[in-house]
Amino acid sequence: MNDSYLCDSLSRYIGQTVTIFTTSGGCSGSGFTGVLASVSENYVKLITNIGQAPSCPLGSSCSGYGHRCNQGCGCGYNYGYNWLGSVTEIPICKIASFTHNAI
């Protein structure tokens, strides 16, 4: 399969959850699962961990990083969470296969 055919195939699944298997070994050879964000001729970009929503969107009622809100606006302890999320970029030439839903 040539790279342009693979790019065309992957492009049909932008916005959907896919698993991409690479030709590398170790943990990365087990595949990356995430929402396909973009496809270029060189790389694909997966959102592999969505960041946390703002804990106090109405302003300064939180008492500080990782603490509960003073007025109970819904802030919780946020230790151990990745607030920013994560993105994985995979070179097209390293993709062995990808899996997607049939629908």
- Please spell the DSSP secondary structure of 3-65, one letter per residue: HHHHHHHHHTTTTSEEEEEES--GGGGG-EEEEEEEE-SSEEEEEEEPPPPPS-TTSS-B-ST
Do both 9 and 45 map to the same domain?
yes
Do both 45 and 67 map to the same domain?
no
Residue 29 is predicted with a pLDDT of 74
Q: What is the pTM of this model?
A: 0.68
Do both 94 and 66 map to the same domain?
no
CA distances, 21 to each of 5, 16, 55, 67 (Å)? 17, 16, 34, 39
Enter the DSSP assignment of 69: B
Q: How many domains does the chain have?
A: 2
Cα radius of gyration rounded to whole Å, the chain: 18
What is the domain extent for residue 10?
1-50+85-103
Residue 3 is predicted with a pLDDT of 76
Do both 102 and 73 map to the same domain?
no
State yes or no: pLDDT of 27 exceeds 50. yes
Q: How many residues does the chain have?
A: 103
